[in-house]
Amino acid sequence: MKVLLIGSGGREHAIANALAKSPRLGWLYAAPGNPGMARVAQCVALDVSNHAAVVDFCRHNDIGLVVVGPEQPLIAGLVDALGAAGVPAFGPSAAAARLEGSKGFTKDLCREYGIPTAAYERFTDEAAALAYVRKQGAPIVIKADGLAAGKGVVVAESQQETEAAVREMFGGAFGGAGAEVVIEEFLEGEEASFFALCDGARALPFATAQDHKRVGDGDAGPNTGGMGAYSPAPIVTEGLAAEVMARIVEPTLRAMAEKGAPYKGVLYAGLMLTRDGPKLIEYNCRFGDPETQVVLPRLKDDLLDLMLACAKGALPEQPPRFSQRVALTVVLAAKGYPGTPLQDTVIRGVERVSALEGVVVTHAGTRMDGDNLRAAGGRVLNVTALAETVGAAQKRAYEAVDLIDWPEGFCRRDIGAREIARERA
């Protein structure tokens, strides 16, 4: 079967690697892809915002499945356009992708179906929002309703910070995304990522992971897209996973089907594990980055089969199987990230790291310039290591990182630290 994979980041490189293992894969196209993906896929220049052009490409190239990596094309309705043309796709329709595209939609759905989440109110008026936060007090969380590239959330610690965040959001700091604001209760606990595969009617638990969002060691500094992750997340025990499925994921699937927007694809629940049980912080309608880089190398089953089953409404009875080994990934970013990263610097040594046993390098923001690999983005490379424990995976990952010659790059040095402390206890 011929597959078209949409995207160009570390997540998509990890998906490409997993698809490449499938005996059913005949040919893999990536649009636009990246230099790492070019080893397992044919990279094609396709304007993915032009749905007719993507449909055309699929028809001409006899594509049997389109896999959509990032959220924007899903929210823009690419899967709807493909569906109308009879091309199977992995990912939700635009109506179902509202679970990520509109925080207000998801909060209302949780309220309607009794799905545990932070208490909240929605506002379209600055004065009403200010009156509400004055009544509630800090800490409190202020969120732009729509997509804001992961930056539309302020966890405000003081009254002053809260009011500034409200004013900033209504002042257009996030463009259209902030025209509506969700204000919610601050939840205390540990965060974990939970992935479920969905076929419109049913969901299967897929995997768990924990990531590190802050740029600096010890969780210091500003938020980023993610500086590292590990999988599985042992804190999500089997019992807890069953509770997440029964109280959060399955009611969501039922709700979406009842609303005429059955959910297909991967449903990524960002959870807060509170004293009162797991609560939903947010949904994403696609795989996480860098979580995918630690989840997929552990998958024992055929990813192409599973994605097709999601697309066709035919998930198997049993959940997918994973290796018992731990995967841990360290993100290498260009100095300056998450502000203005240094661009175009040369990276050496990636080849020798990729050759190491139990180590995988995925490309997130790179480009080839003749024989030179150059940085082309904020987050640039992911070094993933597999081992028996988080501690051993961390050691192996940093040994590999240290073989990469890139003076203009940096990484966190403490990925997995909290879990390693628990392993030692």
Q: Footprint of ligand AMP on this chain (CB under 6 A)? A: 118, 141, 150, 153, 155, 184-187, 191, 270, 281-282
Least distance between ligand AMP and beta carbon 282 (Å): 4
Between 184 and 414, name the residue whose CB sits nearer to ligand AMP. 184
Cβ distance 175 to 141 under 8 Å?
no
Cβ distance 255 to 109 under 8 Å?
yes
| Residue corresponding to tokens 């841990």 | 328
d(CA 23, CA 6): 21
| CB neighbourhood size of 145 (10 A) | 25
Least distance between ligand AMP and beta carbon 226 (Å): 10
Cβ distance 325 to 385 under 8 Å?
no
Compute φ and ψ for 123, nearest 5 degrees: -135, 140
Nearest Cα neighbor of 286 from 92, 1, 127 is 92
3-state secondary structure of 34: coil
Distance of CA 387 to CAs 229, 350, 360, 422, Å?
14, 20, 12, 17
Least distance between ligand AMP and beta carbon 152 (Å): 7
d(CA 121, CA 111): 11
Between 57 and 337, name the residue whose CB sits nearer to ligand AMP. 337
Between 141 and 285, name the residue whose CB sits nearer to ligand AMP. 141
Least distance between ligand AMP and beta carbon 410 (Å): 22
Between 140 and 240, name the residue whose CB sits nearer to ligand AMP. 140
* Max CA separation in the chain (angstroms): 60
Least distance between ligand AMP and beta carbon 224 (Å): 11
Between 174 and 337, name the residue whose CB sits nearer to ligand AMP. 174
Instruction: Locate 19 and state its tokens.
Output: 């698809």
CA dihedral (34, 39, 42, 46) in degrees, to 10, reads 0
Least distance between ligand AMP and beta carbon 227 (Å): 13
Between 270 and 316, name the residue whose CB sits nearer to ligand AMP. 270
Between 3 and 156, name the residue whose CB sits nearer to ligand AMP. 156
Least distance between ligand AMP and beta carbon 102 (Å): 12
Question: What does DSSP assign to residue 117?
Answer: B
